[in-house]
Each structure stands twice: as C-alpha cells, then as structure tokens.
Amino acid sequence: MKSIISSLTSKTGLRLAMVGVLASLVSAVSHANDERGKQLYANCVACHQADGSGMKLLNAPAIAGLSEKYIANQIQKFKLGHRGGDPKDATGLQMRPMATLLTSEADIAAVSKYIASMEPKPAEATITDGNAERGKTLYATCQACHQADGSGNDLLNSPSLLNQHDWYLAAQLHKFKEGVRGSNPQDTTGAQMRPMAMMLADEQAVKDVVAYIQSLNK
C-alpha cells in the first residue's frame, strides 16, 4: 500500500512540476511577444507618438486602446492595398509602407496587442462649430455598429470612436462619402461604412455628428 501511495504521490508531483514548467514557458512567450510588440511600435512613434495619442501635423489618428482585432485588420488592409490604395488617399498612402514593415502574422499580432494595451487619452476638440444636439439624431444610424456609447463592437468590425480626434473622424467620414475609402471590392467592412457616411448630407452634418461623438467622451 505504501508503495502505491508513494507512486501516486510521485506521479502527482511530476504532473504538477510539468504544469509549472508549461506555465513558465507560456509566461515567457507572452513576455517575449510583449517586448516584440514594443520594439515593432518604434516604427510607429514618429506619427502616432509614443503614447499612441496621434498627431494632427502628420494626420495620424489616436490608436491607443483600440481593440487588437481592429488594429490587426487595418494593418492587413494597408499591407494589401485594400485601404490606402486610392491615389487620392494621401494620408492612407503614408501608412501603407509602414504596414509592409510588419512581415508576419506574429508581428502584426504583437504590435496590435501592444497598441491595445496603451491607455487612451482625451482628444482636444478642434471643430468648434458642430451642433451636438443635431448630431445626436444623426448618430442614431451609427449605434447599431458603434454602440450608443461609441465603444464599438468587435463582432461587427466596428472600432471604438471614443478618445479619437475630431479632425480625424471628419476626414474619414469624407473619405467614405467620396469613395476614397471603402470602395475597394476587398474591403468588405469599409463597404459597410460607406452608405452610412453618405447619409450625412453636407459638411455641417459631418461636423454635427462628430461633435456628438466627442460629447460621448465626457
């Protein structure tokens, strides 16, 4: 009996030791991926800044805290030319060569995880003539994808709109309206957004809905 108990104890101890080793390996791999993501992000700092808050001078949006899935999808779009491939998309064309520096799925995943881990920061308003009350009515068509609070929905490939620069939101709405973004046949999620943007009748409507989105940050 003692030998049986001793054998069982030994096997249990071995299993626990193996579980401990595997946990250590998983932790080590995760740490290595985090470090890899940080290293890769060094190529993004010049435009998006070290904290991911973006830079108007270079037309770079805030990306800190966006979901891993959304970030990875956008990087793939830029790499493949599904986004930023239109000659009229000057700012998108800036991003394409940066996306091509990520040569593997593992690198895209690593940098996406690092960006998603950043703490978003409030964006200063630059559009001052938008009417948030009118914008609230216009935003009703956006809720199904971006949610009432603007936090987005990964299942619908819809990014969070919170803590994003108003000038960037307005610029992207214009791109969708004009077909500069979302017209590539391979950009299925962009194609979903185009008709939504086209419902905004004029420049004032764009400003109004953006003003309302900005009010969701408060």
Q: Is 47 labelled a binding residue?
A: yes
Q: Is 118 labelled a binding residue?
A: no
* Statement: residue 3 has pLDDT above 70: no
Q: Is 196 labelled a binding residue?
A: no
Q: Is 18 labelled a binding residue?
A: no
b/e 39-73 (16+ beta carbons within 10 angstroms → b):
ebbeebeebbbeebbbeeeebbbbbbbbbbebbbb
Looking at residue 70, what is its pLDDT? 97
pTM (2 decimals)? 0.84
Identify the bridge partners of residue 92 per DSSP, sorted by sequence position. Answer: none
Question: Which domains does the chain carry?
Answer: 124-218 (1.10.760.10)
* Statement: residue 198 has pLDDT above 70: yes
Q: Is 82 labelled a binding residue?
A: no
* pLDDT tens-place string over residues 5-43: 566 566 666 666 555 555 453 344 455 667 999 999 999
* pLDDT tens-place string over residues 128-170: 999 999 999 999 999 999 999 999 999 999 999 999 999 999 9
Residues 152/158, Cβ–Cβ less than 8 Å: yes
Looking at residue 218, what is its pLDDT? 77
Average pLDDT over residues 166-178: 97
How many angstroms from the chain centroid is the CA of residue 52?
11
Looking at residue 34, what is its pLDDT? 78
